[in-house]
Structure 1
Amino acid sequence: MNIVIERTALLRSLGHVQSVVERRNTIPILSNVLLSIKNGELALAATDMDLEIVETVPASVTRPGSTTAPAHTLYDIVRKLPDGSQVEMEVSGDGHQLTLRSGRSQFKLGCLPPDDFPQISRGELQHSFQLPAADLRALIDRTRFAISTEETRYYLNGIYLHAAKVRAGGAELPVLRAVATDGHRLAKVEIPLPDGADGVPGVIIPRKTVNEIRKLIDEAADRIEISMSENKIRFAFDTVIVTSKLIDGTFPDYERVIPTGNDKVMEVDAKVFAAAVDRVATISTEKSRAVKLSVKRGNLTLSATSPESGSATEELEVAYEDTPIEIGFNSRYLLDITQQIEGEGARFLLADAASPTIIRDVADSTALYVLMPMRV
């Protein structure tokens, strides 16, 4: 293989694929990026056996072929080359060495056989539909903060994506819904069901895949093609194809934890509320991060106490006409949810100090958040 490629284009693609590669690997080939020529372009691929990213980039090809090279080392070399430079890559006749030249710089890297490189993207995926990049970004941004990091409950370590139906004006409307929960909070967001998404299976997309897709979306074209089967999902846009295994588990019946009898309604300016919670939480202990909400007619008092730091209170005007209630929350969880509210108003549906609270965006009915209280 012998090619010449523009440094900026190579760096951009290497940056996308090398982030999948784990720093420590017991299998040497998984530390490498696969470089191959496809249709006169350079294709770069990296995988950790659960997630694979393939990206193609224009190159001037003198001799086709393929090889694998250490992903992080190659990325660091290209990153340190001058802007606007041309990079020549040549594989030795025995395939054991990759020579990289740019200007007066020359590097020689050890290679591993490309035939040893695992590819998880093979196989047909039965269901396929297209989604605007903005819609996928919204589904991810408004739910991923609630993904569990507890490895023992592995079935919560991702976003549950599935087709559902909602009642609106006496009719049932099909939606594509994303749900995430860690047992302390739950995020549920939906968009109209895209054409071709009828009958898609409910799938749990792993946290790492969600984060990699989110990084790539900002550079994506207007639409993203999503294909899936019972155990794999693929995202294709522009010159990038991301294929991932799905979490093999059953997502819990989240509808059961969404309370239906919360009749105490409080409305507050979301940004003012978030800023006040952030200020008061400065006092709360690092471990509990507890903030107490004392609500009475037209008034909310936020308070936090700590044996080491002292105490803090702040009062806000709110729309509330019910009986007084006191309830405590983890301030970090409260802020995570209020940051998702894009409109001015946040609506809290409360029951009592021991029951879950529903939080909604007054201006947007497509998102719902549930937060478990804590003792304060």
Structure 2
Amino acid sequence: MKIQVKQTDLSGGLNLVSAAVRSKVLPVLANVLLAVEDDRLRLYATDLEMSVACSIEPAHIEKAGSISVPARTFADLVATLPGGERVSLELDGETQTLLVSCGDSRTKIKGMDANEFPPFPEAVGSPAVRVTAAAFKKAIRQTAFAASKDESRPILAGVLLEASGDTVRAANTGGTPVRDGNNLTLTAADGFRLSRRQVEANVVLPGAKAVVPVRALTIL
């Protein structure tokens, strides 16, 4: 691997995927995977419960390749480099060492073979619901605060997402029946408080529901 990428793009990508970095279980989970494929630099981190990936368009690609490096060390280094400058990343495949260069700065980071990193889980099937990013993020802000901070209670430490399709129900006081449109409902509770928000959505699979860890939603 030998590429050049803007410092601001690389730093922003590392800040995003670092939300999934945890080192308490396996040493490799403290790393971030860097892979050059399809003319893009892909960053990936996981704790085996939550996985985050992002792609960056490099300024220049000379050679493809992949390696995983300590996320905290790499992110802290990139953050100290001049913003807007090009950062050169060059992999020594024999020693699994990443050379990071920017201006007069030269730093070598010892990494691990990319094959030792857990594979990224791929989504199977079609989306159950589609909603605008702005509406979804607003709904998250209005519900996530009510979720439990105790991760030993995973149900309460998440937000329930429920998709409802187009239905017709009787009016409360008679007259014209009420039509409920396609909606996505977000609900969070910690045993003491409850917050619920409903947003318009394009529901493909009515009745679909899932509890999503709140820490996964708050990085969106």
Q: Structure 1-normalised TM-score?
A: 0.53
Unaligned runs of 5+ in 2: none
Deviation, 1:204, is: 0.3
Q: Which residue of 2 aligns with 1:54?
A: 53
2:217 aligned with 1:210: yes
Q: Which residue of 2 aligns with 1:162?
A: 162
Evaluate the alpha carbon distance shift between residue 166 and residue 176 of structure 1 in structure 2; reply closer, same or farther with a 3 A threshold: farther
Unaligned runs of 5+ in 1: 214-376
Evaluate the alpha carbon distance shift between residue 91 and residue 191 of structure 1 in structure 2; reply closer, same or farther with a 3 A threshold: same
Aligned with residue 184 of structure 1, among 186, 192, 207 = 192
Secondary structure at 1:122 match in 2: coil
Deviation, 1:188, is: 1.4
In structure 1, what residue type is equivalent to 2:187? Answer: V
Q: Which residue of 1 aligns with 2:17?
A: 17
Deviation, 1:139, is: 1.4
Q: Distance between the aligned counterparts of 1:34 and 1:120, measured in 2?
A: 10
Question: Relative to structure 2, which stretch is displaced further, 120-129 or 170-179?
Answer: 120-129
In structure 1, what residue type is equivalent to 2:215? Answer: K
| Alpha-carbon contact 1:69-1:109 (below 8 Å) kept | yes
Evaluate the alpha carbon distance shift between residue 105 and residue 201 of structure 1 in structure 2; reply closer, same or farther with a 3 A threshold: same
RMSD: 1.9
Matches within 5 A, 1:234-253: none
2:38 aligned with 1:39: yes
Secondary structure at 1:155 match in 2: coil
Q: Which residue of 2 aligns with 1:91?
A: 91
Deviation, 1:116, is: 1.2
CA deviation string 1:26-47 (max 9, x = no partner)? 3111111111112111111111
In structure 2, what residue type is equivalent to 1:33? Answer: V
Deviation, 1:120, is: 4.1
Deviation, 1:207, is: 1.6
Evaluate the alpha carbon distance shift between residue 83 and residue 123 of structure 1 in structure 2; reply closer, same or farther with a 3 A threshold: closer
Moved over 4 A (4+): 165-169
Q: Distance between the aligned counterparts of 1:112 and 1:67, measured in 2?
A: 6
Q: Distance between the aligned counterparts of 1:40 and 1:156, measured in 2?
A: 41
Q: How many residue pairs get matched?
A: 211
Evaluate the alpha carbon distance shift between residue 150 and residue 53 of structure 1 in structure 2; reply closer, same or farther with a 3 A threshold: closer
Q: Distance between the aligned counterparts of 2:8 and 2:196, measured in 1?
A: 39
Q: Distance between the aligned counterparts of 1:57 and 1:156, measured in 2?
A: 35
Q: Distance between the aligned counterparts of 1:127 and 1:82, measured in 2?
A: 40
CA deviation string 1:321-346 (max 9, x = no partner)? xxxxxxxxxxxxxxxxxxxxxxxxxx
Deviation, 1:125, is: 3.6
Secondary structure at 1:108 match in 2: strand
Secondary structure at 1:18 match in 2: helix
Using CA pairs under 8 Å that are at least 6 residues apart, name the structure with larger relative contact order, 1 or 2: 2
Evaluate the alpha carbon distance shift between residue 18 and residue 129 of structure 1 in structure 2; reply closer, same or farther with a 3 A threshold: same
Question: Relative to structure 2, which stretch is displaced further, 167-176 or 79-88?
Answer: 167-176
Q: Which residue of 2 aligns with 1:271?
A: none
> Percent identity, aligned pairs only?
28
In structure 1, what residue type is equivalent to 2:211? Answer: I
CA deviation string 1:123-144 (max 9, x = no partner)? 5144344311121012101111
Evaluate the alpha carbon distance shift between residue 148 and residue 77 of structure 1 in structure 2; reply closer, same or farther with a 3 A threshold: same
Evaluate the alpha carbon distance shift between residue 72 and residue 201 of structure 1 in structure 2; reply closer, same or farther with a 3 A threshold: same
